[in-house]
Structure 1
Amino acid sequence: MDESKEPTVLDYVKALLMPWKGKPPALSAKQPTADQSLVEPKEDLSTSPDITTLEMKVEEKGEPVVFPSSAEERLKLPIGWRTLLAFVLAVIGQSFLEPPRQQVSVALIFYGLAVVALIFAVISKEWLLAEYADHTATPMAVTVNRNPILLSLPLLLLAFIFFSGNRFTTLNLTLWLAGTISLVAGFYLPSRTRLSLKSKIRSFFLAPQVIIRITPWSILVLLAIGLVVFFRFYRLSEVPGEMFSDHAEKLMDVADVLQGQTSIFFPRNTGREAIQMYLTALIAIVAGTKLSFMSLKIGTALAGVLTLPFIYFSGREIGGNRVGLLAFVLAGVAYWANVIARIGLRFPLYPLFAAPTLYFLVKGLKYRSRNDFIWAGIFLGLGLHGYSPARLVPMVVVAAVIIYLIHRQSEGNRREAVIALILLAITSLAVFLPLLRYALSDPEMFAYRALTRLGETETVYPAPVGIVFLNNLWKSMIMFFYKNGNIWVHSIPNRPALDVISAALFFLGSTLVVIRYIRQRHWLDLFLLVSIPLLMMPSILSLAFPEENPSLNRSGGAIIPVFILAAVGLDAVIRSIERRYSNGYQRIIPLGVTALLIFFISSANYDLVFRQFDRQFMAGAWNTSQIGAVIRGFSEAQGNPDTAYVVPYPHWVDTRLVGINAGFPLKDYALWPDQFETTLSETRAKLFVINPRDEDAVHKLQELYPTGWLYFYDVELEGKDFLLYFVPPAGTEDGTVQP
């Protein structure tokens, strides 16, 4: 090394990897020291020319040491084989947990060996997970704008009064929005860059020009967006291919909205929050998909996509831009996240609002930013209008603040955190106000579904409640590696929630974060780990029906920390390669390994979503779309949709779904056998759809209509066949009219 040249930071940041002989010269005054921020999100160096620069605090026995920076010297470094070995061992262990074999004892052996390898990686200073440095932030401002706040109080009070009757009206919506905006305006701090932004806008209009800068990072981001959009929308009309009864309930609620019934809470089918109903109604009109399964699926797929940017932002706060982008991709292609986003029910609304709530909460605590707490409160309040598991997100918020307070000794920090929590609560309460009014007027209906799972409203606990809780907790915490439950409509029963590689990366990332917490005791690491069971509590607390736990839908909020930790694990694997190959053309090696791993992960999840889940879902769902198509064809041929009927049979098709699929969403095609005689006065052609096992219905129809024709409709899927009994119009009994 040329001693005449001033040492760069690059010479110091590698010291934990391999100490070098000789005493280094002193650091330049312009260079960052160990107590300066290394995790400033706006200057994340994972995208800079040397991605290893400034990644770790460097101190070896009180003195920094020099690390070789030339390509020739770096080639002498061994690859991070211990970290790679831990990853490979975890992948092998997880492969033994894949159905159908699931050899738990063998998997535990390999996972144990992976832990040993990680410990040796840490001891040998091979561990490459960047540590935190506290961000230097100015104290949070305590000033408020009193006039908007004073204005908001009567507006919100009047809105609360006029929200009676479980209806949104022009008046109460105007009062609520005006009051909420006034409240936020009173607490929100103006941006310091507002004037410069105005200047930029003015300059643009004076001399319009658009500069597009294409960098390797922007190309990676575009590729990542394309990949996750593909996974969310590819074959959306086919996967899943059938509705079940819950979809009928949702579309009936949407029909109510389209007919002018603007409810705050929809009490049908044990009660539902409002956001999905209004979103689907909007899509039905704008996209022209009307009252259909596709309208539901477009809305939930969009929710799944919009969750991902906030997973990226949160991952960036944990480990920089690269961790954020990796979390974005892993969550975007994941079977778990894709299935709950495609099913057409409210499931993805839980992570959709939990993700920005947690992101702004962490950012607010980290940088002592009041505006971020306000945004967290807004998204928390909106989430409560989305999907009932979001009612436990306030518990996660409180837990985050408590963990922050425990790790912060400064009285000023603690006081600011408490004030910020109060501000967040006030904001979320204002946004939640319409549903709060309903909850107070009809608490039994509002809490009914939660109480049936948490309490003994419908059944008694199968065991002492403490034992049930601990058992549920254990099953939920191992679902990533073992079994994600047995609910076929939104999961592949009894398989891990993660694919083999993602599960191994999640294990690796979780272990590394635990080690980092032990070494540094940073509050964010502990919160990241604790948030997983907290966000899964809606599933864990199914104490009266423990067979419903674990469930991917009620655990959906845990998607956020789980895939951030998996990204941390993948980032550690990449770093273990970069410690040797990160200069010049050598960067192709870690980049190629990353691309290969993402390819394998994407392929595995493609198979899980578009083959395995699709196949088992269609085997379990009733083929109401085929029956609906038959009735639609009959209606077009005969010019009449009112003389087709579906004869109900236990545990068979939902006749409301037949009407939706036939293009008549408000028509229930059910006609029970004891109602057959009511059709005798009808002279037009008639079509009866019958379950093949319903011999009594067939015999009764043959007695009533001896000139009718019975057809067996053969379906490719086993057990999905059905019978058609066609009755020709009156006066054509000679058989000249064909069905």
Structure 2
Amino acid sequence: MARRIASALAFSLAGLLAVFAQGLLDASPREAPDPRAFGVYAGALALFLWALRQEPAWLEGERPIAPSASPSIPGRPLWAVLSLGFSALAFLESGGNRFRLLGVIAWGLAVAAWLAAWWDAPLPRWPREGWRVRGWHLVLLLVLGLGISFRYWDLWNLPLDVNSDHAEKLLDVRDVLNGEYRIFFPRNTGREAFQFYLAAATIRLFGMPLHKFTLQVGTAFIGVLLLPALYLLGAALWGRHGGLWTMFLGAVASWAVIPSRVGLRYPFLPTFAAWSLAFLIRGLRSGRRADFLGMGLFLGIGLYGYSPFRGMIAALPAAFLLVWGIRRGWRTAEGWRQMRDFILGMLTALPVLAPMLRFIVESPEMFFYRLMTRVSTWEKPIEGNPLWILANNLRRALLMFHWTGDEVYVATIPLRPMLDPVMGALLVLGGVAAFGWMIRRRDPVPLAALAAGFVMLFPSAYNLSFPRENPSTVRAAGALPSVLTLAALVPAMWTAWWGRAGARRWLGWGIAGLLVLTLIRLNAVRVFETYAQSYCRHVLNASDAAEILRGFYAGGGPPTNAFYVAYPYWFDSRLIGMWLGDLDWPYTVWYEDLPHGVARHRRVPGPKLYLVHPEDEATRAVLQAAYPRGWWAWRPRSHCDGLGIWVFHVPPDS
């Protein structure tokens, strides 16, 4: 008994020391980490290893959750032939970068026929006795509700203003609403289609406007879909407690929450990476072909989401082959059967991708343009040895969870670690615990998650032409599911161990509850305070410009008499139009053309208004000379410190 108590105390103290060490790293400058952090981390790891050695039951935990294995069922050749035929029809009907009704019907039938050809598991059925809601189900619903709250709370205002990428996306959504059903959207260097059809459906179904908020509602929904996938993944790796903790970390982690609120395609990457990886792990556990088919299905769907997801084409085989090799799958008939089923799973993505494959054949340069501008000299020369740049990029990407950070303000806290100090500490301890788990249980399956996570750092690290863009919060987000499952292992071990401790389990669950509240608080501050303030200071306040214009219109000013004087790196006029309900709002004058524009404006009767950049002294001089009776008003930012707007009012009789 004394040994168990000592082990529990050492386990707890190791966690506290790791959090303290991570806090030192988090607070250290980005140029050089605080060396004290490494000493404290070493002490934490020594205590943690001692606790595991004293009480090996920490690593026993629960049995990972996996569906029961199915008997080997041969394929159904007729359905496979039908799938190939429908896939060919979908491919042929997708020419010219367009979805067409016949091609879409053939596309759906191709996917359904392929699944019917190889499915080897019972279909889900409603239980005869009905669903019984248990306490565990209520806990899962509570975590799901927490994740929904983090993604939708005050979504209109955070973020309020947006950037030119959103304007480009809204134009693509408008194209869909106008009947241009593209497979791949060429605007803004090329984009996959999923988000645009989701936003168009949101507008059609719920009557929402063509607005940045509509984009945010859709991406927040994709962010919510991440959570059940994380439960499946964590449960398949570590058991029921592992699934719950992985889902909880995904519900609150700022790295998962912030990108899903921005309104861009970012959350499509971690969400579909989690779903495809979860089914791979389930397949490695159960040997069921159906799980590998699910893996391939989500692989194909994810390739319509966000281009860095293409890394999963390499990550899934790397993860499978690592485990298959350790198991020496080539020595057994079961190993070769699992290899065949994995290959069938990967091939499942092909009918899902039939329209995309037609576009790739027709326009490979457009499909690969974004990738090639990062790994080659298409846009900019590579400055240095590519291998050295790649190695340095990988080093920085591996450090992004604890020390380095992304400098882009849009979807992260600039130059801060991706994880909060507590989650960062859990990741370090969880990595050690994962290797202990694999050695004690002789279970190589967690290596699949590790391998997939490492490979999915490459969409950020392979940026050879623009290495400052690495590490990227959003391009490396394919590693998020693996990171969260590792971080979830230590609290899962804690709650599973205390769950067997009889009356004393309430002590363990009390400490776990304190951890839950701490993580909620830390990440709420990161998302709703730190990120909100940082984002507001960096983003341009087009909403303020639109509010000034609406005030002018409400006071009787003609819409044709209010102008935005465009200046380098200032507002995208389409965003002003978005706030006014017209993406094509036409009253923009480039500052260099203003002298000619004023000559025309003076012939138009009525009051006038001009929005001018604070540093545009030339425009101020031109307007004051043209309208001597005009007067200036300074409009500061509405929601935070930052760049304001000079407003020039021209009375009607000028």
TM above 0.5, one fold? yes
Q: 1:74 to 1:89 in 2, by over 3 A?
A: closer
Q: Which amino acid aligns with 2:77?
A: R
- Structure 1 residue 427: Cα displacement: 1.3
Give the counterpart of 1:715 among 612, 619, 637.
637
Q: Which of 537, 541, 547 does residue 629 from structure 1 map onto? A: 547
1:300 aligned residue: 219
Task: Report the more deviating stretch, 228-237 or 406-415.
Answer: 406-415
The residue number in structure 2 matching 1:412 is 333
Structure 1 residue aligned with 2:416: 495
- What amino acid is aligned across from residue 281 of structure 1 in structure 2? A
Counterpart of 1:687 in 2: which secondary structure?
Answer: strand
1:619 aligned to 2:550? no
Q: How many residues align?
A: 644
The DSSP-based 3-state class of the residue aligned with 1:671 is: strand
CA distance in 2, matches of 1:681, 1:127: 86
The counterpart of 1:240, out of the listed 156, 159, 162, is 159
Matched, 1:465 2:386: yes
Q: What CA deviation, in whole Å up to 9, does each residue of 1:249-304 have, x standing for no partner? A: 11111111111111111111100000001111122233333111111111111111
User: Partner of 1:176 in structure 2?
Assistant: 107
Question: Counterpart in 2 of 1:508?
Answer: 429
Alignment of 1:356-435 (within 5 A): 356-409=275-328, 410-435=331-356
Determine if the alignment matches structure 1 residue 686 to structure 2 residue 608: yes
Report whether the alignment pairs 1:645 with 2:563. Answer: yes
Equivalent residue letter for 2:322? I
Which residue matches 1:478? 399
Give the deviation of 1:521 after TM superposition.
4.2
Structure 1 residues 588 and 442, CA, compared in 2 at 3 Å: closer, same or farther? same
Aligned mate of 1:528, from 432, 446, 449: 449
Deviation at 1:100, TM superposition (A): 5.1
Q: What is the letter of the counterpart of residue 695 of structure 1?
A: E
Q: For 1:16-31, what aligned pairs fall within 5 Å after superposition?
A: none
How far apart in 2 are the matches of 1:504 and 1:722? 44
1:459 Cα deviation (Å)? 1.7
The residue aligned with 1:217 is 136
CA RMSD of aligned residues (A): 2.4
| 2:566 alignment partner, SS class | coil
Alignment correspondent of 1:548: 469
Aligned to 2:245: 326
Alignment match, 1:44: none
Deviation at 1:691, TM superposition (A): 0.8
Deviation at 1:153, TM superposition (A): 2.2
Is the 2:561–2:606 Cα contact (8 Å) retained in structure 1? yes
Q: Please show how residues 656-675 of structure 1 align to structure 2 within 5 Å.
A: 656-673=574-591, 674=593, 675=596
CA pair 187-699 structure 1, distance change in 2 beyond 3 A: same
Which residue in the other structure is 1:129 paired with? 59
Q: How does 1:261-300 map to 2 (within 5 A)?
A: 261-300=180-219
Greater gyration radius: 1
In 1: Cα distance, 2:4 partner to 2:426 partner: 28
Measured against aligned partners, the alpha-carbon deviations of 1:96-141 in whole angstroms (never above 9, x if no partner) come to 0123557521110011112212222233235602278798965752
Partner of 2:87: 156
Q: What amino acid is the match of 2:414?
A: P
1:371 deviation in Å? 1.3
Partner of 1:601: 519
Distance 1:324 1:418 in 2: 26
- CA–CA distance in 2 between the matches of 1:601 and 1:261? 45
- 2: distance between equivalents of 1:702 and 1:556? 51
- State whether residues 561 and 608 of structure 2, in contact with CA within 8 Å, keep that contact through their aligned partners in structure 1: yes
Aligned to 2:622: 700
Residues 374 and 465, structure 2, Cα contact 8 Å, conserved in 1: yes
**Pair 211,608 (structure 1): closer, same or farther in 2 beyond 3 Å:** closer
Q: Which runs of 5+ in 2 are unaligned?
A: none
1:692 and 1:319 mapped to 2: Cα distance? 57
One-letter amino acid matched to 1:84: S
TM-score by length of 1: 0.83
Distance 2:336 2:62 in 1: 23
| Amino acid paired to 1:318 | L
| Equivalent residue, structure 2, for 1:654 | 572
CA distance in 2, matches of 1:583, 1:319: 22
Which of residues 310, 320, 329 is equivalent to 2:229?
Answer: 310
Aligned to 1:82: 10
SS of residue in 2 equivalent to 1:168:
coil
Percent sequence identity over aligned pairs: 33
Indicate the larger mover: 627-636 or 556-565: 627-636
1:93 aligns with 2:12: no
Pairwise CA distance, 1:458: 1.6
Could you list the per-position Cα deviations for residues 353-394 of structure 1 after superposition, in whole angstroms to 9, with x for gaps in the alignment?
111111111112221111111111111001000000111101
Contact 2:79 2:116 in 1 (8 A): yes
TM-score (norm 2): 0.93
Q: Secondary structure at the match of 1:405?
A: helix
Superposed CA deviations along residues 13-54 of structure 1, whole A, max 9, x for unmatched, are xxxxxxxxxxxxxxxxxxxxxxxxxxxxxxxxxxxxxxxxxx
Q: Which residue number in structure 2 is paired with residue 145 of structure 1? A: 76
Deviation at 1:91, TM superposition (A): 1.0
Paired residue type of 2:477? G
1:492/1:668 CA distance change after superposition, 3 Å:
farther
Q: 1:372 to 1:359 in 2, by over 3 A?
A: same
Code of the aligned partner of 2:569: H
Question: Once structures 1 and 2 are overlaid, which stretch shifts more, 568-577 or 487-496?
Answer: 568-577
Partner of 1:54: none
Aligned match of 1:348: 267
Following TM superposition, the consecutive aligned residue runs of length 4 or more in structure 1 with deviations greater than 4 angstroms are 73-79, 100-103, 131-140, 575-579
Asked if the contact 1:84–1:573 (Cα under 8 Å) also holds between the matched residues in 2, the reply is no
Q: Tell whether the 8 Å contact from 2:67 to 2:282 is kept in structure 1 after alignment.
A: no
Q: CA deviation at 1:469?
A: 1.1
CA change 1:266–1:93 in 2 (3 A) is same
Q: Does structure 2 retain, via aligned residues, the 8 Å contact 1:354–1:380? A: yes
Q: Is the 8 A contact 2:557 2:608 kept in 1?
A: no
What one-letter code is carried by the residue in structure 2 that aligns with 1:389?
P
Counterpart of 2:192 in 1: which secondary structure?
Answer: coil
Aligned equivalents of 1:211, 1:368: Cα separation in 2: 27
The one-letter amino acid paired with 1:504 is A
Which deviates further from its counterpart, 630-639 or 352-361? 630-639
Give yes or no for contact 2:277–2:449 (8 Å, CA) kept in 1: no
The separation in 1 between residues aligned to 2:17 and 2:498, in whole angstroms, is 17
- 1:502-551 alpha-carbon deviations (Å, 9 max, x no partner): 11111111111122334444221222222221122110111211111111
1:61 alignment partner in structure 2: none
Which residue of the partner structure matches residue 438 of structure 1? 359
Matching residue of 1:724: 647
| 493-502 vs 124-133, greater mean Cα deviation | 124-133
